[in-house]
Amino acid sequence: MPRFLHKSFAPVDIAWLAFFRILFGCVMLVEVIRYFAYGWIEIFNASDFHFGFYAFEWVKPWPDPGMHLHFAALGVSALCLALGFCYRFMAAFFFIGFTYVFLLDETRYLNHFYLISLVSFLMIFLPAHRAWSVDAWLRPAIRSSVTPAWTLWLMRAQIGIPYFFGGIAKLDSDWLHGEPMRMWLAERSHMPLIGAYVHTEWLVYSFVIGGLLLDLLIVPGLLWHRTRLLAFCAAASFHLLNSQLFHIGIFPWLMLGATFIFFPPDAARRCLLRLGIHPRSATGRAVHSTVPRWRPRQRVLGALALYLAVQVLVPLRHFAYPGNVHWTEEGHRFSWHMKLRTKSGDALFDLVSPSTGRTWLVDPLDHLSEAAYAKMTTHPDMILQYAHYLAAQKRREGFPDIEVRARAMVSLNGRPPRPLIDPRFDLAHEPRSLAHAAWVLPLTEPLSRPSVRLEENDRHFISGTE
């Protein structure tokens, strides 16, 4: 244990951390600008109803113009992170502000938003402002050219965990049979270079096997000096291709930049020196080479062990639920199951007041945006939330005994549409919890070819019109 403590707190070059701070701040600033440029901020106040995360349903958007001011403040904090100005405060502010946005709408969940929340949380505790920053220029006493080794390995672990669990998740029957990759490639015949081959099986399985191997091997490949350059080239090709195929915003660029932290910690400093740039403080003096005093080492390592244990256990929780996680969605979020399934669906809701005999048929498209509707129809917990919302409305109208049942048909990875919700269950009285939902019907349909999608004219499956 003493030897492990010593290695964990051994000084390493702080250049990697300063580089990562600048990278993270710049990428986050670009993301905030994108929200303004594409008008995405208006989405948060477009409806009175929002799908909330479990236990965080109380998180609501600011009234106009509060959301615009909130994103403006996020942009300022991201810029300050990149500059290293008021670093500790800005890191905490960005974490709280971004996580607030993340929790506002469950339909907008993305794995990279979750990763950004985690990374911004860790940044609060890392001494990323002790070099190449405005703070170090204003306060020479905090300058340092080194940082404890645990800071490097913590961030490497945080970036490596999505890769590893993403690879484990790809050991899945549908993925190994080529879906949904086959469906996605079929839609990209217009792309240069690969467009002429998107219907060929060799290209499909090149992506399937290549994605699996990259996720599982990229971290050890980057850590071993003999394979580091090859692994980096593979990661760069992977993320650049993803940016063109799936248009997933900043995520490929963030992950591509983050791969540099797997290089030697002084790599950024050596690159600057080769360019003739000598990384010094604003006063022209070389940065110090002493490690600042830290909290008791055992407590630091204990906190790190607890944090990493949570990061390892949370992605495994879906094994505690029965059925196909991509169908039931139980334990799917926060588990790094990335690009493993495509789902389409349709849903209607039957409302009944037994005491009055009145009935209603509700089409969610009358209340929800198309994007929210598309997400809701394939996620049982969102269907339950919407059922509770409809029940609350009717209770306010004077129907206290209202019952709500859902008819939802869903297609997973090209399977023919199948019922997702047991229509015998009154969802108005089903509590929202983390326990297995007995009202979600199991998926028994094996994957078969050719792929089938649920199109707009397939609504007769649930409407009973045919």
pLDDT at 295: 57
Residues 6+ apart with CB under 8 A from 128: 17, 18, 20, 21, 84, 87, 91
The verdict on residue 399 lying in a domain is yes
CA atoms of 462 and 409, how far apart (whole Å): 6
Domain, as residue range, for 365: 342-463
Bridge partners of 348?
407
The verdict on residue 250 lying in a domain is no
Domain shared by 115 and 31, yes or no: yes
Stretch 194-216: mean pLDDT, rounded?
Answer: 93
Residue 126: closest CA among 29, 24, 232, 32: 24
Sign of CA dihedral 73, 77, 82, 83: positive
Across 276-304, b (16+ Cβ under 10 Å) vs e yields eeebebeeeeebbeebeeeeebeebbeeb
Residue 121: closest CA among 154, 89, 92: 92
Q: What is the pTM of this model?
A: 0.91
pLDDT at 47: 84
Whether 332 has a pLDDT exceeding 70, the answer reads yes
Question: At 352, is the secondary structure helix, strand, or coil?
Answer: strand
> How does strand 343-353 pair with strand 403-412?
antiparallel
Q: Which two tokens stand for residue 85?
A: 């100005």
Q: How many domains, the chain?
A: 2
Residue 327: closest CA among 419, 221, 258: 419
The verdict on residue 334 lying in a domain is no
> How does strand 146-148 pair with strand 11-13?
antiparallel
Each residue's pLDDT tens digit, 89-116 = 999 999 999 999 999 999 999 999 999 9
Each residue's pLDDT tens digit, 392-425 = 999 999 999 999 999 999 999 999 999 999 999 9
Stretch 314-339: mean pLDDT, rounded?
Answer: 95
Is the peptide bond preceding residue 65 cis, with omega within 30 degrees of 0? yes
The verdict on residue 164 lying in a domain is yes
Domain shared by 34 and 158, yes or no: yes
Q: Which two tokens stand for residue 315?
A: 């992605």
Domain shared by 298 and 430, yes or no: no
The verdict on residue 439 lying in a domain is yes
The verdict on residue 387 lying in a domain is yes
Given phi > 0 = left and psi -120 to 50 = alpha, else beta, which region is 86? left
pLDDT at 454: 41
Q: Look up residue 111 and give its amino acid.
A: N
Q: How many CB atoms sit inside 10 A of residue 367's CB?
A: 16
Is the peptide bond preceding residue 180 cis, with omega within 30 degrees of 0? yes
Domain shared by 350 and 412, yes or no: yes
The verdict on residue 217 lying in a domain is no
For residue 146, the surrounding DSSP H or E stretch is strand 146-148
pLDDT at 457: 41
Domain shared by 365 and 419, yes or no: yes
CA atoms of 80 and 78, how far apart (whole Å): 5
Domain shared by 14 and 98, yes or no: yes
CA atoms of 269 and 278, how far apart (whole Å): 8
Domain shared by 359 and 307, yes or no: no
For residue 270, the surrounding DSSP H or E stretch is helix 267-274
Domain boundary among 285, 318, 351: 318
Please answer whether residues 256 and 150 qualify as being in contact, where contact means their C-beta atoms are separated by less than 8 angstroms.
no
Indicate the pLDDT class of residue 1, thresholds 50, 70 and 90. Answer: low
Domain shared by 383 and 307, yes or no: no
Stretch 256-284: mean pLDDT, rounded?
Answer: 79
CA atoms within 13 A on the CB side of 372: 22
Domain shared by 281 and 356, yes or no: no
Whether 32 has a pLDDT exceeding 90, the answer reads yes
CA atoms of 317 and 232, how far apart (whole Å): 31
Residue 386: closest CA among 109, 45, 50, 57: 50
Domain shared by 26 and 74, yes or no: yes
Domain shared by 297 and 355, yes or no: no
Domain shared by 302 and 354, yes or no: no
Q: Look up residue 384 and give its amino acid.
A: L
Each residue's pLDDT tens digit, 238-248 = 999 888 888 88
Least confident residue range of 122-131, 289-298, 348-357: 289-298
Whether 366 has a pLDDT exceeding 90, the answer reads no
The verdict on residue 243 lying in a domain is no
Q: How many CB atoms sit inside 10 A of residue 232's CB?
A: 18
Sign of CA dihedral 169, 164, 182, 461: positive
Question: At 95, is the secondary structure helix, strand, or coil?
Answer: helix
